[in-house]
Amino acid sequence: MAEPRRCLDGRGEGTGDRSFAVSRQASARAALRERREQAWRKESREAIREDNQFAGSRGSLRDRFRRL
């Protein structure tokens, strides 16, 4: 009878496959989190750019008070 396969830590057959799947899920979650953060940062930059353009179209604060 053949000896059961052992993963690197010696726990026995099948444990290496499961730990690999768990680590793959963790890396997939980390990649998804990174994509979400990148999208959030991009949206934030776009919102700031729009706010700055709107503020620029109104003129500077000093110019607005000078007109009073």
Domain that holds residue 67: 37-68
Each residue's pLDDT expressed in tens, for the chain with a length of 68 residues: 555 555 555 555 555 566 777 788 899 999 999 999 999 999 999 999 999 888 888 777 777 677 66
pLDDT on residue 29:
93
Residue 33's alpha-carbon distances to 39, 42, 50, in angstroms, are 10, 14, 26
State how many domains the chain has. 1
Dist. CA 11–CA 43, nearest whole Å: 47
Residue 1 within a domain: no
Residue 54 within a domain: yes
